[in-house]
Chains A and B, each alone.
Chain A
Amino acid sequence: MKTNRRILAFALCLILMLGVFGCKGQYAQDPAAPAAADSPAAQTDPAPDAAAATANTTYQDTITIGVANDITTLDPQGSNTDANMMAFILTHETLVEVDPETNEIIPGMAKSWTISDDGCTFTFEIPDNVKFSDGTPCTANDIKFTLERCKESSFTKTKVELVTDIQVIDDTHVAITISKPSQDFLLLLAHQSMSILSEALVKADEFGYQIGTGRYQVETWTPGDQISFVRSDFFYGEPAPTRCIIFRLIKEESSRLIALQTGEIDVCVDPLSTDFGYIENDENLELIKIPNYVLLYNALNNERKGLDDVHVRKAIAYATDKESMMQVGYNGEGFIHDHWINRGQLGWYDGLEVYGYDLEKAKAELALSPYKPGDLNFRIIYNGTAKENMALVLQEDLAQIGIGLELIKMETAALKGVLNDAALDYDMCLYQFTDNLGTDFTLRNQFGSYEDGGALKKNGSNRANMKDATFNKMIDDALVEQDPAKREKMYNDIEVYLNDIVPIVPIATSYINTGIKKGLSGVKWSGTAKHDYRYICLPEG
């Protein structure tokens, strides 16, 4: 009856509304009308890091997170997207984890570990009561199986390429040996794609990889719509404070924000920066802004004619107006990036001579090259509207120093196809690189190459197509250096080396923005956008 009345009223209001609101342009700032928690409540344990929580706090039974990207697979070793990784944090465990605040290695499934004197053997101990969410026990054999599976997958093989031997000592101890000491090996093991799987379940069922030892298990998954996770009955540690977590796919940014305002969702991932005011002015909502590790850069294909000349690359670097690009692409919400590693990583060198926006210097650099203004014409590929706006700025600036730039906007799949194709048929590409897996991983993936049949071949994410034996030796030496001070100095030197050859033009990092309901706590926000929702909770009422 109530519904009928609403429908009737809806019809009557519609004509009025078209006239009144249709011309208004933007909606007003009233707080959302409906109450937040329609779902049944449950008394749960307080979240470990929810400072405000008390023993008597009642939490919402279900928390819904409005996400922008769909989960594509539940196989940890079968993908590398952020959306998938956030699911694995809930359902699976890695041997060790990275504390997102301190970037330090903390225990994951392994409660402790030792490293041999030569730095090559890591022995992990796991609790004896670890169980997968179907109730079957997890043993050291499953860890060995998972690491061997990682070697087979193109998404994970580089993370375990140093592993030479895996010894199961007993059910709770496993020893992993690597070919040379690596200061970043534990960081690699902490990546969600290294989540531990059950050998028996994976061999018995093609979707057996969905079952992990995490605090949650998948309840239902409707691709393209939503996925729900419920607390695992077999988790060996402290239970999660919220019984059910739902990732609901709402691709349209405005709809996602409105769903948060109306209380249909509790977390709105990645709202539009132009809509921040609606969150900030709403007394029921809060805006979380985390500086991210996603580096936006202009990948210069170092093997293309013109771009193989360091002076041309330097000219492009000087002619890149990063500030304006950040304004048009990120609405000014971000940080200009001039370095070759991420802010906060070991080796960040403050004394670097950066390429500030200076068209005169750009012209001077171009004059040092064999090319005259007007000689060079490049094509830049990219996806998305933000990057299109940035490319337009770059086009304008390069034109002022006599370099032509053709803009080619592509769909994401097509762009990936061009970048990954062996032909490498592009001059420049506006692209991004995300990681917090250590300085070595950043440098090796973005700029490294390996020897194959007497020739150097670029690493997968090396979009600059840079093949430099000197650089390879520098990162190899730094990786095995055990003295932290010496190692930092070596990475400083690598920053300077890259700064001299300018394989890419780093542009900016931005923020990871999330709108949440006030009172929501327990989330470990990550600069890689792989937020940890295991302890998420929202007090009732």
Chain B
Amino acid sequence: MHRYIIKRLLMLIPVLLCVAFIIFAIMDVAEGDPVYSVVSADASEEEIAAQREAMGLTGSLMERYFRYVKGMLHGDLGRSYVSKRDVMETYLTRLPNTLKLAAVTMVVAVGISIPLGIVAAVNQNSIKDTVSMILALLGLSMPNFWLGLLLIIVFSLKLGWFPSGGYEDGFISLILPAFTIGAGLAAFMTRSTRSSMLDVIRQDYLRMARAKGVSERKVIRKHALHNALIPIITVFGVQFSNVLGGSVLAETVFAWPGVGRLVVDAIDQRDIPTVTGALVMTTMLVTVVNLLIDIVYAYVDPRIKAQYMK
């Protein structure tokens, strides 16, 4: 198991190098010279050249890339072209907000989807199943920004229960953005849970358990759900990774200072060090989350654990 974990962590190195290169290449071909985001229209050609040198924009794409990688290996992600602040420091300021939002979002998503998916599967083709699937369809169909504004209007403006944005009020500030993002995820996960459960509850071993007199509740919770978990965990992992990358629309509507907005604002300003640094860090985070999900597989399914041991 340890060897597997070390192997996966080592695989992170080429992944990060590739991600950094791809971002460098994309920013290189994108329209808009980053120099002009920091000099005025009155800058002379000499000043522009000096600024280009100071920003490390001289040399070929590969030269700049290797310079960046050299710094990255020393934990230096560079300085923002715009704010002149350390990119790592800026990223670490935003990361806790994103982690908090991601965690609560997943709690909302799991809290809604698992019970709803089980109820839908157990009561297949009944009114409960239909209602669950309609709710799931609603969740999938509603755009994030629309749902976010709707929630703000009702629960902030009309009822005054939650703040309309920001994070100053602690946990209560998380509720509306988490529900906004979580609604869509919950809808997707409800359908996955239902389909996974439907596969399992038709299995013979469940019929056997019932025949032996095991209560229906226990059959579902212990035997069916446990075996249906692998696909659900997979979906959970993918969705969690997506949320870690930032939910730009929800972050914008709720003025939530997360990583997603950091990256989008930096792209708009052609702030290459911030874009690259934030995406490299996010890639690292997502890879670690995927690794954790793989480890969870092993604990849920002994067959997978045995594979890891090889």
Contact count band on A: 35 or more
How far is A225 from B47 in the complex, measured between Cα atoms in Å?
Answer: 31
Interface segment among A86-94, A150-158, A339-347: the answer is A150-158
Query: Given A27-B158, A422-B45, do A414 and B255 touch, yes or no (CB 8 Å)?
Result: no
Is A255 a contact partner of B164 (Cβ separation < 8 A)? yes
Tell whether, in the assembled complex, residue B156 and residue A262 are in contact, meaning their CB atoms are under 8 Å apart: yes
A204 CB to closest chain B CB (Å) equals: 17
Q: Is B63 an interface residue (CB 8 A)?
A: no
Interface flags for A297-326 (1: CB within 8 Å of B; 0: not) read 000000000000000000000000000000
B214 at interface, CB cutoff 8 A: no
B231 within 8 A of A: no
* Interchain nearest-CB distance for B301 vs A (Å): 33
Between B84, B158, B255, the greatest number of chain A beta carbons within 10 A of the residue's beta carbon is seen for B255
User: CB < 8 Å: which of B31, B39, B157 contacts A262?
Assistant: B157
Is there a chain B Cβ closer than 8 Å to A198's Cβ? no
Q: Are B47 and A154 in contact (CB under 8 A)?
A: yes
Q: How far is the CA of A323 from the CA of B249 in the complex (A)?
A: 34
The segment out of A232-240, A246-254, A533-541 that lies at the interface is A246-254
In contact, B255 and A252 (Cβ under 8 angstroms): yes
CA distance A412 to B80 in the complex (A): 18
Which residues of chain A from 248 to 280 have any CB-CB distance to chain B below 8 Å in the complex?
A: 248-252, 254-255, 258-259, 261-262, 264
Pick the contact of A255: B159, B165, B175 (CB < 8 A).
B165
Give Cα distance in the complex from A412 to B32, angstroms: 9
Interface pair A18/B138, CB less than 8 Å apart: yes
Task: Tell me if A258 and B265 are in contact (CB < 8 A).
Answer: no
Given contacts A17-B154, A223-B83, A224-B262, contact A33 B36 (CB under 8 A): no
- How far is it, in angstroms, between the C-alpha of A421 and the C-alpha of B265 when the chains are bound? 22
A454: Cβ under 8 A from any B Cβ: no
B160 close to A154 (CB less than 8 A): no
Complex contact B159–A33 (CB within 8 A): yes
Contacts of A157 in B (CB 8 A): 42
- Chain A residues with CB under 8 Å of B265's CB are 70, 224
State the CA gap A422–B161 with chains docked (Å): 54
Q: List 9 A-B contacts (CB under 8 A).
A: A22-B150, A73-B83, A224-B94, A255-B165, A255-B255, A264-B163, A414-B30, A417-B32, A420-B33
B-side residues, CB < 8 A to A, are 30-34, 36-37, 39-45, 47, 80, 82-85, 90, 93-94, 138, 145, 149-150, 152-166, 171-172, 175, 179, 252-255, 257, 261-262, 265, 268-270
Contacts A222-B93, A259-B164, A459-B42 aside, 19 further interface pairs with beta carbons under 8 A come to A3-B172, A10-B175, A27-B153, A154-B39, A224-B90, A224-B94, A224-B261, A248-B166, A250-B255, A252-B252, A252-B255, A255-B253, A258-B164, A259-B165, A262-B160, A262-B164, A412-B268, A416-B36, A461-B41
